[in-house]
A and B are shown apart, each in its own frame.
Chain A
Amino acid sequence: MGAAVFFGCAGIAFGPALALVLLTVAAEPLRVIVLVAGAFFWLVSLLLASLIWFVLVHLSDREDAKLQYGLLIFGAAVSVLLQEAFRFAYFKLLKKADEGLATISEDGRSPISLRQMAYVSGLSFGIISGVFSVINILADSIGPGIVGIHGDSPYYFITSAFLTMALVLLHTFWGVIFFDACEKRRYWCLGLVVASHLLTSGLTFLNPWYEASLVPIFIITFCTGLWAFFTAGGSFRNILKCLSCKQEDDSRVMRYSALQVPFED
Chain B
Amino acid sequence: MITFMNNSDSEEEPCNERTSLMSAESPPVPSYQDGLQASEAGEAQAHRKRRTGSGRSPNNIADGDTSDLGVPVRESALENEEEELTLKYGAKHVIMLFVPVTLCMIVVVATIKSVRFYTEKNGQLIYTPFSEDTPSVGQRLLNSVLNTIIMISVIVVMTVFLVLLYKYRCYKFIHGWLILSSLMLLFLFTYIYLGEVLKTYNVAMDYPTLFLVIWNFGAVGMICIHWKGPLQLQQAYLIMISALMALVFIKYLPEWSAWVILGAISIYDLMAVLCPKGPLRMLVETAQERNEPIFPALIYSSAMMWTVGMAKPDTAARGPSQQTWDTAEDGRENHRSPSHTGSRMSETRSPVPTRPITSFEEVEEEERGVKLGLGDFIFYSVLVGKAAATASGDWNTTLACFVAILIGTRQPFSSPLPSTERDGHPCPPPPSQGARGPPAAPLVFPALSSCVEQGCSLKALEGKCEGKP
Chain A positions within 8 Å of B394 at CB level: 136
For the A-B complex, the count of residue pairs with Cβ-Cβ distances under 8 Å equals 155
Contact of A54 among B84, B407, B452 (CB under 8 A): B452
Contact of A136 among B1, B395, B404 (CB under 8 A): B395
- B400 interfacial contact with A, CB 8 Å: yes
Encoded as 1 (CB less than 8 Å from any B CB) or 0, chain A from 234 to 246 comes to 0000000010000
Instruction: Say whether chain B's binding surface is mostly helix, strand, loop, or mixed.
Output: helix
A33 to nearest B CB, angstroms? 6
Please choose the segment from A8-16, A21-29, A172-180 that sits at the chain B interface, where 4 or more of its residues have CB less than 8 A away. A21-29
Q: Within the assembled complex, what's the spacing in Å between the Cα atoms of A260 and B19? A: 12
B399 touches A72 (CB 8 A): no
Q: Within the assembled complex, what's the spacing in Å between the Cα atoms of A32 and B17? A: 37
Chain A positions within 8 Å of B16 at CB level: 257
Q: Which residue of B lies closest to A25 (CB)?
A: B5
B91 touches A106 (CB 8 A): no
- A158 interfacial contact with B, CB 8 Å: no
Q: Within the assembled complex, what's the spacing in Å between the Cα atoms of A49 and B5? A: 35
B95 touches A32 (CB 8 A): yes
Chain B positions within 8 Å of A29 at CB level: 91-92, 94-95
Q: Which residue of A lies closest to B13 (CB)?
A: A107
Q: Within the assembled complex, what's the spacing in Å between the Cα atoms of A204 and B87? A: 43
Given contacts A107-B10, A111-B88, contact A207 B466 (CB under 8 A): yes
A40 touches B407 (CB 8 A): yes
Given contacts A106-B13, A135-B395, contact A32 B84 (CB under 8 A): no
Chain B positions within 8 Å of A36 at CB level: 98, 403, 406-407, 410
B95 touches A51 (CB 8 A): no
Contact of B15 among A47, A49, A201, A257 (CB under 8 A): A257
Q: Within the assembled complex, what's the spacing in Å between the Cα atoms of A128 and B456? A: 18
Q: Within the assembled complex, what's the spacing in Å between the Cα atoms of A260 and B396? A: 56
Chain A positions within 8 Å of B51 at CB level: 103, 106, 108
Number of B residues contacting the other chain (C-beta, 8 Å)?
A: 63
Contact of B8 among A69, A112, A132 (CB under 8 A): A112
Contact of A139 among B395, B407, B413, B464 (CB under 8 A): B395
- A231 interfacial contact with B, CB 8 Å: no
Contact of B456 among A50, A58, A108, A129 (CB under 8 A): A50
Chain B positions within 8 Å of A73 at CB level: 467
A32 to nearest B CB, angstroms? 5
Q: Within the assembled complex, what's the spacing in Å between the Cα atoms of A103 and B403? A: 29
Chain A positions within 8 Å of B20 at CB level: 256-257, 261
A204 touches B9 (CB 8 A): no
- A196 interfacial contact with B, CB 8 Å: no
- B309 interfacial contact with A, CB 8 Å: no
Contact of A72 among B95, B396, B465 (CB under 8 A): B465
Q: Within the assembled complex, what's the spacing in Å between the Cα atoms of A62 and B87? A: 52
Chain B positions within 8 Å of A111 at CB level: 8-10, 88
Instruction: Say whether chain A's binding surface is mostly helix, strand, loop, or mixed.
Output: helix
Q: Within the assembled complex, what's the spacing in Å between the Cα atoms of A109 and B13? A: 11
Given contacts A32-B95, A72-B459, A106-B50, contact A40 B468 (CB under 8 A): no
Q: Within the assembled complex, what's the spacing in Å between the Cα atoms of A57 and B80? A: 54
A232 to nearest B CB, angstroms? 11
- B431 interfacial contact with A, CB 8 Å: no
Given contacts A33-B413, A204-B468, A205-B467, contact A105 B459 (CB under 8 A): no
Chain B positions within 8 Å of A109 at CB level: 10
B361 to nearest A CB, angstroms? 13
B84 touches A105 (CB 8 A): yes
Q: Which residue of B lies closest to A200 (CB)?
A: B468
A139 touches B95 (CB 8 A): no
- B2 interfacial contact with A, CB 8 Å: yes
Please choose the segment from A76-84, A183-191, A219-227 that sits at the chain B interface, where 4 or more of its residues have CB less than 8 A away. A76-84
- B135 interfacial contact with A, CB 8 Å: no
- B60 interfacial contact with A, CB 8 Å: no
The residues in B between 413 and 467 inclusive whose CB is less than 8 angstroms from any CB of A are 413, 441, 445, 448-449, 451-453, 455-456, 459, 462-467
B403 touches A40 (CB 8 A): yes
Chain A positions within 8 Å of B393 at CB level: 139
Q: Which residue of B lies closest to A205 (CB)?
A: B467
B467 touches A76 (CB 8 A): yes
A54 touches B455 (CB 8 A): yes
A51 touches B2 (CB 8 A): no
Chain B positions within 8 Å of A101 at CB level: 87
- B315 interfacial contact with A, CB 8 Å: no
A104 touches B469 (CB 8 A): no
Q: Which residue of B lies closest to A103 (CB)?
A: B51
B419 to nearest A CB, angstroms? 15
B98 touches A32 (CB 8 A): yes
- A46 interfacial contact with B, CB 8 Å: yes
A123 to nearest B CB, angstroms? 12
Q: Within the assembled complex, what's the spacing in Å between the Cα atoms of A100 and B311? A: 33
Chain A positions within 8 Å of B32 at CB level: 106
Contact of A104 among B87, B399, B455, B462 (CB under 8 A): B87
B10 touches A50 (CB 8 A): no
- A228 interfacial contact with B, CB 8 Å: no
* Interface residues in chain B, defined as those with a beta carbon under 8 Å from any beta carbon in chain A: 1-2, 5-6, 8-10, 12-17, 20, 27-29, 31-32, 47, 50-51, 54, 80, 83-84, 87-88, 91-92, 94-95, 98, 393-396, 399-400, 403-404, 406-407, 410, 413, 441, 445, 448-449, 451-453, 455-456, 459, 462-469
Cβ contacts A to B, 16 pairs, < 8 Å:
A28-B8, A30-B91, A43-B403, A43-B404, A54-B452, A69-B465, A72-B467, A75-B469, A79-B469, A104-B80, A104-B87, A105-B10, A163-B468, A205-B466, A242-B1, A264-B28
Give me 9 other A-B pairs in contact (C-beta within 8 A), A28-B8, A53-B452 excluded. A23-B2, A29-B95, A36-B410, A43-B404, A79-B469, A116-B8, A135-B396, A135-B399, A201-B467
